[in-house]
């Protein structure tokens, strides 16, 4: 990933920035108006931060792209596997009904232009998908629960079904998230991966010092391999090496800050 050429508090993916029909971004924690542990560019509506400051932060981001805040579709994520297709019918809904439809959604997809599909993260994995042939996009929030629930597979299958997409011709971008070095989980999480059919025996995916210690897993790499299993070309998958836990200067981290963590926003849009 590189710094956005116009806005130093935003990041971009190498594979996506050369695509002329889309815009995309991943925020960092700088450039906003929030204070304290939420300083300063907190995008998370469901945190203890002042809602007015979160609203202003989102307005600041919208102005960077000459858009209105309501052109950024951001679900109320619940670490589940809900996938929503954003179509004309959804965009015609009133604000209240649209908000209800977005509850419990952790991935969105669309062929509509002029709207950003977004996910909020603070250690979990943000994933953007782009099908240039059929002009379709998706944004996925993949924590360990969503990953074991196969949210990537469900989203890709919906793109294939709804838009005739082919994973072999798509681009995937995996954003900043907690690294294996800092992501400790217990046996119960490892059991969930095993029951879901994931083989994490490879040391590049999981390891622990001894039988009494916690496991460490690489959630970004697990999702990268899931994309490859689904038919994505490895050369068309970009995985950020940035760790949200380690880079306190750049990112919020729920593991590092607990309940006082803000959220980053990662989004993709088909240009009008």
- Domain holding 21: CATH number? 3.60.140.10
User: Which pLDDT tens digits describe the chain residue by residue (272 residues)?
Assistant: 999 999 999 999 999 999 999 999 999 999 999 999 999 999 998 778 999 999 999 999 999 999 999 999 999 999 999 999 999 999 999 999 999 999 999 999 999 999 999 999 999 999 999 999 999 999 999 999 999 999 999 999 999 999 999 999 999 999 999 999 999 999 999 999 999 999 999 999 999 988 878 999 999 999 999 999 999 999 999 999 999 999 999 999 999 998 889 999 999 999 99
* Omega cis (within 30) before 7: no
- Helix ranges (H only) for the chain are 14-17, 51-64, 88-91, 95-101, 144-148, 151-163, 187-195, 219-229, 254-257
- Domain of 165 in residue numbering reads as 2-178+241-270
CB 53 within 8 Å of CB 42: yes
- What is residue 260's predicted lDDT score, i.e. its pLDDT? 87
Q: Quick one: CA torsion of 18, 138, 147, 169, rounded to 10 degrees?
A: -60
- Report if residue 47 sits inside a domain: yes
- What is residue 187's predicted lDDT score, i.e. its pLDDT? 94
Q: 28: Cβ–Cβ under 8 A, 6 or more apart, which residues?
A: 9, 10, 11, 41, 250, 251, 264
Identify the sign of the CA torsion 92, 95, 100, 102: positive
Q: Are strands 107-110 and 136-142 parallel, antiparallel or unpaired?
A: antiparallel
Q: What is the DSSP string of 159-175?
A: HHHHH---GGG-EEEE-
As for how many domains the chain has, the answer is 1
- What is residue 174's predicted lDDT score, i.e. its pLDDT? 98
- What is residue 208's predicted lDDT score, i.e. its pLDDT? 92
What span, in angstroms and rounded, lies between the C-alpha atoms of 119 and 108?
9
- Report if residue 43 sits inside a domain: yes
- Report if residue 194 sits inside a domain: no
- Report if residue 205 sits inside a domain: no
- Report if residue 245 sits inside a domain: yes
- What is residue 259's predicted lDDT score, i.e. its pLDDT? 82
- Report if residue 265 sits inside a domain: yes
- What is residue 209's predicted lDDT score, i.e. its pLDDT? 86
- Report if residue 203 sits inside a domain: no
For the entire predicted model, the pTM comes to 0.97
- What is residue 210's predicted lDDT score, i.e. its pLDDT? 85
């Amino acid at each position: 990933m590189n710094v956005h050429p116009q806005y130093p508090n935003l990041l971009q993916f190498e594979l996506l920035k050369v695509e002329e029909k889309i815009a995309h971004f991943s925020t960092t924690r700088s450039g906003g108006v929030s204070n304290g542990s939420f300083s300063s560019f907190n995008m998370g509506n469901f945190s203890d931060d002042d809602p007015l400051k979160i609203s202003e932060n989102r307005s600041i981001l919208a102005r960077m792209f000459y858009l209105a805040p309501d052109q950024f579709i951001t679900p109320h994520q619940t670490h589940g596997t809900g996938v929503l297709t954003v179509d004309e019918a959804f965009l015609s809904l009133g604000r209240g009904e649209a908000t209800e439809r977005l509850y419990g959604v952790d991935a969105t997809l669309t062929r509509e232009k002029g709207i950003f599909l977004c996910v909020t993260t603070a250690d979990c994995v943000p994933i953007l998908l782009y099908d240039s042939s059929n002009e379709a996009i998706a944004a996925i929030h993949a924590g360990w629960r969503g990953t074991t629930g196969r949210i990537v597979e469900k989203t890709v299958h919906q793109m294939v079904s709804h838009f005739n997409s082919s994973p072999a011709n798509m681009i995937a971008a995996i954003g900043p998230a907690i690294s294996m070095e800092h992501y400790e989980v217990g046996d119960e999480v490892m059991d969930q991966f095993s029951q879901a059919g994931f083989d994490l025996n490879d040391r590049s995916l999981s390891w622990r010092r001894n039988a009494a210690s916690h496991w460490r897993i690489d959630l970004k790499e697990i999702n990268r391999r899931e994309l490859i299993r689904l038919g994505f070309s490895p050369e068309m998958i970009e995985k950020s090496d940035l760790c949200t836990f380690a880079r306190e200067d750049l990112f919020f981290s729920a593991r590092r800050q607990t309940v006082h963590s803000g959220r980053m926003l990662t989004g993709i849009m088909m240009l009008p």
